[in-house]
Structure 1
């Protein structure tokens, strides 16, 4: 088993918790300085990624040198990971456990800048397909204005659909009212994103209908649905919680510069 496969296997033990690590490893493993520590039954994974590698980090943290992600099975492994952290660099820590931040605080001055919430569900009676919602497994050009209003590019959209993405949308005739896309984030975790409702169709609960239907289709395909929101996006948080999604992971971003 390769170093990469061993790390992926460890992280996939809890794919939703580790979705950011899995996503970065899948997309950029050749550009990441990755560490796997194995001590008897315990293990730890550390990812050090140049801040300019991922477009979001490049835009959001232009002064940073390195993005740090980690997971470990026991605090006993943390010292071995700590030894591999660059002390003089400007770091962005993306941490999915409060314990990780607490372990780092004696060694780094950390400043919290944002949190992202991952919502999910394993289904239930409240989740059912809305028969008026249209599912499409190819790029529907009628929906491009809504998707691009969320800053998706054609290159991104084509890539998602080539990898099996699908959209769920509501129309008035040929006019799109509300839409979302479900796309592969990692092997088992699929993202519900690009949620957008035309301005004239808002305040009618249409986004709830398309997202709820998207969740059902995602679960029916055997995937874990993930709906990620920034902590400040109260409307999106209300949407997630109103249809019965629950917060599964909180990913906090901390700077040491």
Structure 2
């Protein structure tokens, strides 16, 4: 019999790109999560809570929040029941991937929108072909590329782990030196992330980033994988790059901060499965 965490993953995987953040967080931090699942006939809803301190990014970005909360489901009443179960005496951050979820939360709580991220993807035959450049694909970590990736906030140890896990780099070199690069690395299942895009300031405005990202996407598609390009909502240059290459917008993930003033009335979530 499938346990609750596997059942949750199976339900979320029906819309992998829409729920990619939840799936990845379950994979990385599932042991620390409180997971609640309600099912009735063919309808289902779930709520996942992760202590903020367990995720380095969230601990740094939202130090006041006690938990990061994710939700998903097909039934608004079941979702509302699960939200009503939450303790509301401490700050929380909700990460929601559908406008309906945000509306449901705002019906109960006063929330502040902190930031949003867009997920783009692309399939076979949709990638725009750019004028050919000699983009180098490398399967081992090249120390010459570390300064470019680290300028984007990556730590060497983090990059080393990525390459152990199968990451590949895509780089344009001029006169033997790297001028533009990106990484492709596993996210969840067949979904691979394209990230760490960086072009030297002296070489920007020449379309080099599009070249390396396009090469990464083409390689992933050829290998039967699903490219994911993740960008913060205010990053106009990265959004333009995705659109230039023919990527399709899949989902917006919105971070909503709740101040923890005890709004709402917790309810008993009868019949919920917990992992």
- TM-score scaled by length of structure 2: 0.89
User: Highest relative contact order (Cα 8 Å, sep 6+), 1 or 2?
Assistant: 2
The aligned runs of 1:115-154 (5 Å cut-off) are: 115-124=116-125, 126-128=127-129, 130=132, 132-154=134-156
Moved over 6 A (4+): none
1:21 and 1:69 in contact (8 A); partners too: yes
The aligned runs of 1:63-78 (5 Å cut-off) are: 63-78=64-79
Q: Deviations over 1:78-136 (max 9, x none)?
A: 13322332222211011111101111122211111111111111132544584501111
2:115 and 2:233 in contact (8 A); partners too: yes
2:186 and 2:192 in contact (8 A); partners too: yes
The aligned runs of 1:219-234 (5 Å cut-off) are: 219-234=221-236
RMSD (Å), alpha carbons: 1.5
Count residues with an aligned counterpart: 257
Q: Distance in 1 between matches of 2:243 and 2:179?
A: 22
2:19 corresponds to 1:18: yes
In structure 1, list runs of 5 or more residues that go unmatched.
none
1:248 is matched with which residue? 250
- TM-score scaled by length of structure 1: 0.95
2:185 to 168, 173, 183: 183
In structure 2, list runs of 5 or more residues that go unmatched.
260-275
Q: Distance in 2 between matches of 1:22 and 1:91?
A: 20
Instruction: Find the residue that maps to 1:185 and give its secondary structure.
Output: strand
